[in-house]
Structure 1
């Protein structure tokens, strides 16, 4: 299979980066994401994992991918896939809208932009993610935009994932 690439964007800020799908390490997750693109939603900055931005989506795969290529210590440029039961994220401490509630499933697509991340949540413990992509171009500019998002807020900003027409 030829290498596949996606573009990840912070739409309002006009910043994007390009990532290579890790089809050799997470083929089921890559297929699920690829077949669902484009995806776009409100962006959040992590509270617990440190240097992470993410968006939440309704489930888009026929069945949730298995825990392939897992990590609890993502590195800069990792794209991770998480699936949560709404009850895991439905407390007021997380601050999500009405879509995140008991009885629902939520898919979290995340981009890690700097070092020293640890996927340990005080409510549920270790939260392994599936590493399904790696940023290969534009991470430095994206990291600066993510730091700005952390400092100035995420309100009104969108995180977008789409197939890339070109390779880096």
Structure 2
């Protein structure tokens, strides 16, 4: 199969990086994401996993991917896919707006990990394995700087976007 790439961007900050899809390790997930592109939504910075930014989307796959190429310790440059029933994320302690879940049964979380020492554990739910479906091959340093700025300055008005390259 021909290698496929996506551009991941924080548009307000004007920063982007390029990631290679891991079709050989997560073929079902890669196909689901590729077929749904372009995708973009409000960006969030992780509270629990540490060095992670992510966006939430309504489920877009005909059938949710199996847990292929899983991790609970993502490394810098990993793109991860998570699926949550809306009731798991509707807890007010997470700080999401109610409209983020309006009418959604399943929420997909597409995440970028930009630095090391991440651990996918949640105090309410325990271990949260993610599917590693891509890896950043260009532009991670600039994206990491923007992610740190997002952490310190705030995410309001910023979007996380995924597009085909």
TM bracket, shorter-chain basis = over 0.9
8 A contact 1:41–1:158 mirrored in 2: yes
| Secondary structure in structure 2 of the residue aligned to 1:114 | coil
- Equivalent residue for 1:129? 130
8 A contact 1:90–1:102 mirrored in 2: no
Instruction: Give me the whole-angstrom Cα distance separating, in 2, the residues matched to 1:35 and 1:103.
Output: 20
Structure 2: runs of 5 or more not aligned: none
- Equivalent residue for 1:154? 155
| Secondary structure in structure 1 of the residue aligned to 2:142 | helix
- Equivalent residue for 1:45? 45
8 A contact 2:81–2:133 mirrored in 1: yes
8 A contact 1:89–1:101 mirrored in 2: no
Instruction: Give me the whole-angstrom Cα distance separating, in 1, the residues matched to 2:31 and 2:40.
Output: 17
Q: Tell me by how many angstroms 1:100 deviates.
A: 2.5
Higher share of residues assigned helix: 2
| Secondary structure in structure 2 of the residue aligned to 1:73 | coil
- Equivalent residue for 2:145? 144
TM normalised by structure 1 equals: 0.96
- Equivalent residue for 1:35? 35
- Equivalent residue for 2:94? 94
Instruction: Give me the whole-angstrom Cα distance separating, in 1, the residues matched to 2:60 and 2:135.
Output: 21
Instruction: Give me the whole-angstrom Cα distance separating, in 2, the residues matched to 1:100 and 1:119.
Output: 22
| Secondary structure in structure 1 of the residue aligned to 2:101 | coil
Instruction: Give me the whole-angstrom Cα distance separating, in 1, the residues matched to 2:117 and 2:133.
Output: 19
Q: CA-atom RMSD, angstroms?
A: 1.1
Alignment pair present for 1:18 and 2:18: yes
Stretches (4+) displaced over 3 A: none
TM normalised by structure 2 equals: 0.97
| Secondary structure in structure 2 of the residue aligned to 1:35 | helix
Q: Tell me by how many angstroms 1:101 deviates.
A: 6.5
Q: Tell me by how many angstroms 1:103 deviates.
A: 6.6
